[in-house]
């Protein structure tokens, strides 16, 4: 095992402050960095010696022997479950990274419904109220090609359900709903069986379109409430918890286990084929390169390595460390060469940022001459990340295609959701624009259908019905 690099900023909020020094011996679970504001404790994920502390990371040389035992979280006798979650340093492990101990510090029994915007909720009466609080478990695993969340349901369903019940207890939510895609038949079956003895927990099946895992999409699918871009799920008396996060909560409470490992899917242009390699409990701080080697190693020349999913991930390097929020590592095939052609980019709230899409255009040797944005992708304040008004429901894209045509683009690179990609394909090719989706190189590599025409338009979201 190579050196472990543990970043001081792996969460929403401020970077943590190191509480160890170079030369210190550490164990699995030794507290090595503490929050300086909003944040979460950071622990060593290995036995070893701290060799360096830089501005943004702590570097640990692992010992030869790595016993399974860990240092339990330091909480007083009788500590509350919420205090245990806080002490364990758990953050939203689906990629968001919001400190879970803060998120769960809400009493949903006493939380009032937020004011619903009638424009986006035309079918709900003005005085609509939900009957109780809900924990919504985000098991959508919406980024194509990732499989670790679904694998966890298949292998550790009991632990996940324990975590969900703890979330319900901490927030006083009377009910919980698993949001999962219908295509994951094995996991759905296992979950359905397990939930027969859990009357307060149900399952909601979703179609295989992108994005279904966005928080407000989960609320809409499970509860029928459309939130504005400014509203949090609490406005629908709910808290959305990622599936792996629920399992880490169970570990913190049942075993006093700190958050030191991450489940990761590795796939792409690898020796042995493009199938998914799911690694459970990878020590945080492990390098991307080491994990790729465990998956077989890179097969020849490649385009880029994506950390995260193909839609929202970023390009990374072999020596980058796995963090508490890393979900996927995808090694892609080479990019096509556009030979300096004029390119337009169409930015979406649920895909890559403009910066990421410009990076992809540059890697394709394209000359960006036009930038448009899906009209539903808005900034709540200048410079803030884009949010979609109605995730996954296309507002029409013809005006953008016309703009690209006016700007004399030959190619367009789009980052749209399934529904909007389908709409783009209704106009752009007719105007002579050649379309690439920002995920194409990743989808081709893993053998997944490209995001173009929506082939699942007949699929509807539904409650479980066996």
Instruction: Report the nearest approach of ligand SF4 to the CB of residue 414 (Å).
Output: 8
Tokens in use for 93?
């492990």
Q: What share of the chain is helix, strand, coil (3-state, %, to 5)?
A: 25, 25, 50
3-state class (DSSP) for residue 416: coil
Locate all alpha helices (DSSP H) within 132-214, ordered by sequence: 148-171, 185-194
Instruction: Report the nearest approach of ligand SF4 to the CB of residue 437 (Å).
Output: 11
Instruction: Report the nearest approach of ligand SF4 to the CB of residue 211 (Å).
Output: 6
Tokens in use for 274?
């493009």
Residues that bind ligand SF4 (CB under 6 A): 211, 348-350, 374, 376-377, 388, 391-392, 394-395, 416-417, 419-420
Instruction: Report the nearest approach of ligand SF4 to the CB of residue 408 (Å).
Output: 24
Whose Cβ is closer to ligand SF4: residue 3's or residue 416's?
A: 416
Instruction: Report the nearest approach of ligand SF4 to the CB of residue 354 (Å).
Output: 13
Confirm if 350 and 391 have CB atoms less than 8 A apart. yes
- Spatial separation of the C-alpha atoms in residues 92 and 240, rounded to whole Å: 10
State phi, psi for 272 to the nearest 5 degrees.
Answer: 100, -10
Cα 228 to its chain centre, rounded Å, is: 20
Query: Shortest CA distance to 11 belongs to which of 240, 244, 326?
Result: 326
What pairing do the DSSP bridges indicate for beta strands 377-379 and 386-388?
antiparallel
Query: Shortest CA distance to 48 belongs to which of 28, 32, 20, 76?
Result: 28
- Spatial separation of the C-alpha atoms in residues 156 and 74, rounded to whole Å: 26
Instruction: Report the nearest approach of ligand SF4 to the CB of residue 388 (Å).
Output: 3
Instruction: Report the nearest approach of ligand SF4 to the CB of residue 373 (Å).
Output: 8
């Amino acid at each position: 095992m190579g050196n472990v690099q543990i970043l001081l900023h792996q969460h929403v909020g401020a970077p943590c402050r190191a509480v160890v020094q170079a030369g210190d011996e550490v164990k699995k679970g030794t507290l090595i960095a503490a929050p300086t504001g909003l944040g979460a404790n950071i622990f060593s994920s290995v036995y070893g010696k701290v060799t360096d502390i830089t501005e943004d990371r702590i570097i640990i040389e692992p010992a030869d022997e790595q016993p399974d035992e860990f240092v339990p979280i330091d909480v007083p006798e009788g500590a509350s479950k919420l205090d245990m979650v806080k002490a364990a340093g758990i953050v939203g492990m689906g990629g968001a990274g919001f400190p879970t101990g803060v998120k769960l510090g809400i009493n949903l029994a006493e939380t009032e419904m937020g004011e619903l915007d009638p424009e986006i909720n035309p079918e709900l009466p003005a005085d609509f109220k939900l009957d109780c609080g809900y924990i919504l478990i985000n098991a959508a695993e919406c980024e194509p090609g990732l499989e670790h969340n679904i694998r966890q349901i298949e292998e550790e369903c009991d632990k996940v359900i324990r975590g969900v019940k703890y979330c319900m207890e901490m927030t006083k939510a009377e009910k919980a709903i698993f949001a999962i895609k219908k295509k994951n038949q094995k996991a759905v079956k296992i979950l359905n069986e397990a939930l027969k003895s859990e009357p307060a927990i149900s399952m909601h099946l979703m179609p295989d379109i992108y994005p279904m895992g966005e928080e407000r999409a989960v609320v809409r699918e499970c509860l029928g409430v459309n939130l504005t871009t400014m509203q949090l799920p609490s406005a629908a008396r709910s808290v959305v918890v990622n599936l792996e996060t629920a399992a880490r909560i169970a570990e913190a409470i049942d075993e006093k286990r700190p958050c030191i490992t991450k489940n990761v899917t590795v796939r792409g242009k690898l020796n042995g084929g493009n199938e998914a390699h799911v690694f459970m409990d990878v020590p945080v701080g492990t390098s991307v390169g080491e994990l790729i080697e465990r998956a077989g190693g890179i097969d020849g020349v490649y385009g880029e390595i994506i950390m995260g999913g193909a839609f929202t991930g970023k390009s990374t390097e072999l020596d980058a460390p796995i963090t508490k929020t890393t979900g996927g590592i995808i090694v892609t095939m080479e990019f096509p060469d556009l030979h300096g052609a004029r390119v337009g980019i169409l930015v979406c709230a649920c895909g890559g940022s403009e910066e990421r899409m410009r990076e992809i255009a540059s890697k394709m040797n394209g000359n960006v001459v036009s930038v448009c944005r899906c009209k539903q992708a808005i900034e709540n304040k200048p410079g803030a990340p884009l949010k979609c008004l109605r995730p996954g429901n296309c507002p029409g894209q013809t005006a953008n295609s016309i703009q690209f045509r006016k700007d004399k683009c030959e190619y367009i690179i789009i980052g749209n959701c399934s529904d909007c990609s389908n709409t783009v394909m209704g106009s752009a090719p007719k105007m002579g624009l050649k379309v690439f989706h920002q995920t194409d190189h990743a989808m081709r590599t893993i053998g997944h259908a490209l995001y173009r025409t929506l082939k699942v338009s007949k699929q509807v979201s539904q409650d479980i019905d066996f």
